[in-house]
Amino acid sequence: MDGLNGRPHPLGRVVATERRPNTPHEFHFWTALDAAIGIGTIVRVAGTHAIAGHVPSIYGVVVEGFSYSDLASPLHDVLGSDGIPERAAHGPTDRAEIRLYTAAVLRQVPDEPLQPVPLGEVFLADDADIACALRMDGYLRPDARTAIPIGVYHAGGTSSPIYLDADFLLGPEAAHLTITGVSGLATKTSAVEWLLASIFAHFPEKKGTIAAVCFNVKGPDLCFLDQPATGLDPADLALYERLGVPARPFERVQYFAPHAPDGFTLNTLRSHEALAHNVTALRWGLGEVMEFAEVLLNKDDVDAKADALIDFISHEVIGRQFTDTMLQRPHVVRSFADLAAWFQDVLRGLEQRNAESWRTHHVATIRKVRNRLTNIAQRCAGLVTNDGVVSDLPWGSFADRTVYVVDVANLEEDAQDLVFTRVVPMLRQQLERRSLGVQHVIVFVDELNKYAPSDGPDTYVRKMLLDVAERGRYLGLVLFGAQQFRSQVHRRVVGNAGTAVYGRMDADELATPGYAVLSPALRTKLATLDRGQLMVRHPHFTQPVFVRFPRPPVLSGREGVERFPHAEVATLEVSVMRRLRRLDGTITLDWVKEVTALAEEGEVLRALGATEVAGATDVRAYFRAQFRGIVPARSATRPTVAPLRLASDDNPYDL
């Protein structure tokens, strides 16, 4: 607000007493009772004296507020009103009242010498002040812009966009983001969806390409990222406009979901036929699983001997011709079924020779490893198949600004672990080799409390998340994690996150030591944040900043399942038809029934998988060719053969 001569009105004035002095990091100021200021407001203090030729400007954010009167005891007010509250309001003179605020220094300009904050006038920060206070001016320069909008800061009529630095959000300087908040307020997932949209819109071209891999771990949260949001209100649209992010759903989204144990129904809440076009089965065979088989094996159960055998199988048996004098035949193990046959042959050979070991591996170890490995397909039914038909993420051809959603919401815990532990290291490997197709990948994992807990056993998933948190930023692999209780997530995961975002917090969580650095007022504000408000900590911000973000531009999970209800469980033929129609729109149910009429269910699924993977131009011919040839029925004719001799009519024994 401008005052006389275009000079802005001061909002308050810095005050210091012997008991409550100002420091270089904190200062106090009073304001009028009607000043538009509150916890989280950013202010500027105008210095009064030039120091080394510069009049300093000090920027601060309000972290605490006090209001008091000249009363020594509340009892005095009660006595003065005869204990009747209404009477207090009828006094002809208002009691003197003061608004006193404490602000934490965000920045002093110039930076040196760092002195206590002077007794100057306090102004509400404008756009330029906020950019300077939060050190955003460094990455908002047109020639070196790496700014990613995260929301809008509102205070006293000021509405300023707040930006994160892509170099510190997505590497290489710092990376990773954690978001904490109570469940049920649609803050965590919404904030990540919004932020992904913002990143895709503003990720600097010079930094290369970027994609996101999101693990949908519960419900339909991420199942409708390509569908427009319903009812974005004008305030939301204004925020999108202000922040330069299109209010549109993601243009390129690919869904991956394993099958249900039946082998042909996709195990996802995004099962509506209208949305099936970009849902791909996630189906792994022996080759994909074996490298990460240890995830599914009980660590206490698999000792060094078993480990040695697994290593032998991985390197000497799988994927190559294996011959041995003890075995009945050469084996080429490409699937779990092949592996079972190989084990059977080995154990048969040992029994025949009455031997106790083979190639230094004891028969008991061989039996144990056989049991553990061959039941993986049963334990992860739908994800891991016995046959060798594989359907996987598009390794090597990830596309820029594309979201890959891996839906593991309905998987058993073992299978979820396998998905995490294979997908993320694969991303890391391919980013290391620069062969993924994009240069940066954001991995979004919800429920970090569950997957990277601060206590409990050291799981492979936690190890993997720690690895990403500690080394990912050099590779362009960035972890966005969400959790309800930050205090219960492994401290190396949250500690390595350069950016921390908080929605409304649980009071119990705020009482944990990790939040002691926040003032009581900030903690209280965090416990009462509205939907759509966030507190942001970022390496450039010396103090947390409160922002408001718009509702995400995509259909929410709750609305999505109402508009696109879960498809009823289809028969095998219907499921085959639907999936083949994605390759060839002319496929009919009758044709599928005709082709599969005599085939076993396993054969049909194998044929379907092979057809999907092959991507043949003539889908009908390829699918039909996968079945055994059926010899057409012929009526048998009895050949007529002339007898060697004929018996006489009266004596049939005369031959």
Binding site for another protein (CB under 8 A): 70-73, 76-77, 79-81, 87-88, 90-93, 95-96
User: Cβ of residue 79: shortest distance to another protein, in angstroms?
Assistant: 6
Instruction: Name the DSSP letter for residue 313.
Output: I
User: Cβ of residue 94: shortest distance to another protein, in angstroms?
Assistant: 8
Looking at this protein, which amino acid is placed at residue 372? R
Distance CA 392, CA 256 (A): 8
Backbone angles phi, psi at 180, to 5 degrees: -120, 140
Nearer to another protein, 99 or 272 (CB): 99
The neighbouring-strand residues paired with 27 are 103
- Alpha carbon of 301 to those of 384, 419, 604: distances in Å? 22, 22, 37
Instruction: Name the DSSP letter for residue 644.
Output: S
Looking at this protein, which amino acid is placed at residue 239? L
Looking at this protein, which amino acid is placed at residue 482? A
Q: How many CA atoms lie within 13 A of 128 on its CB side?
A: 2
Nearer to another protein, 71 or 364 (CB): 71
Nearer to another protein, 15 or 201 (CB): 15
Nearer to another protein, 77 or 121 (CB): 77
Nearer to another protein, 24 or 91 (CB): 91
> What is the 3-state secondary structure of 378-443?
HHCECCECCCCCCECCCCCCCCCCCEEEEECCCCCHHHHHHHHHHHHHHHHHHHHCCCCCCCEEEE
User: Cβ of residue 84: shortest distance to another protein, in angstroms?
Assistant: 10
Beta carbons of 396 and 404 less than 8 angstroms apart:
no
**How many of the other CB atoms lie within 10 Å of CB of 70?**
9
The neighbouring-strand residues paired with 68 are 98
308: left (phi over 0), alpha (psi -120 to 50) or beta: alpha
- 3-state class (DSSP) for residue 58: strand
- Integer distance in angstroms from the first to the last C-alpha of the chain? 131
What is the distance, to the nearest Å, from the Cα of residue 214 to the centroid of all Cα atoms in its chain? Answer: 4
Nearer to another protein, 80 or 208 (CB): 80
User: Cβ of residue 240: shortest distance to another protein, in angstroms?
Assistant: 50
User: Cβ of residue 89: shortest distance to another protein, in angstroms?
Assistant: 9
**How many of the other CB atoms lie within 10 Å of CB of 582?**
15
User: Cβ of residue 66: shortest distance to another protein, in angstroms?
Assistant: 18
User: Cβ of residue 17: shortest distance to another protein, in angstroms?
Assistant: 13
Nearer to another protein, 83 or 172 (CB): 83
Beta carbons of 304 and 433 less than 8 angstroms apart:
no
Q: Which residues, in sequence order, are CB contacts of 399 under 8 Å at separation 6+? A: 211, 252, 437, 438
Looking at this protein, which amino acid is placed at residue 311? D
Beta carbons of 216 and 223 less than 8 angstroms apart:
yes
- Report the residue count for the chain: 655
Nearer to another protein, 93 or 637 (CB): 93
Nearer to another protein, 69 or 571 (CB): 69
What is the distance, to the nearest Å, from the Cα of residue 440 to the centroid of all Cα atoms in its chain? Answer: 14
For residue 560, give both structure tokens.
Answer: 């999505």
Nearer to another protein, 81 or 374 (CB): 81
Nearer to another protein, 98 or 332 (CB): 98
Backbone angles phi, psi at 432, to 5 degrees: -60, -40
For residue 30, give both structure tokens.
Answer: 């009073």
Nearer to another protein, 69 or 183 (CB): 69
User: Cβ of residue 33: shortest distance to another protein, in angstroms?
Assistant: 15
Nearer to another protein, 79 or 399 (CB): 79
Beta carbons of 501 and 484 less than 8 angstroms apart:
no
User: Cβ of residue 77: shortest distance to another protein, in angstroms?
Assistant: 7
Distance CA 492, CA 481 (A): 13
User: Cβ of residue 100: shortest distance to another protein, in angstroms?
Assistant: 15
- Alpha carbon of 473 to those of 171, 266, 426: distances in Å? 5, 34, 15
Nearer to another protein, 50 or 75 (CB): 75
User: Cβ of residue 92: shortest distance to another protein, in angstroms?
Assistant: 5
Q: Residue 360: name the closest of 291, 318, 300, 312 by CA.
A: 312
Nearer to another protein, 91 or 113 (CB): 91
Q: The tokens 């799988």 sit on which residue? A: 318
User: Cβ of residue 189: shortest distance to another protein, in angstroms?
Assistant: 51
User: Cβ of residue 96: shortest distance to another protein, in angstroms?
Assistant: 6
Beta carbons of 134 and 143 less than 8 angstroms apart:
no
Q: Residue 415: name the closest of 390, 383, 373, 451 by CA.
A: 383
- 3-state class (DSSP) for residue 8: strand
User: Cβ of residue 18: shortest distance to another protein, in angstroms?
Assistant: 16
Nearer to another protein, 90 or 206 (CB): 90
Q: How many CA atoms lie within 13 A of 155 on its CB side?
A: 24
User: Cβ of residue 88: shortest distance to another protein, in angstroms?
Assistant: 7
User: Cβ of residue 93: shortest distance to another protein, in angstroms?
Assistant: 4
Distance CA 131, CA 160 (A): 9
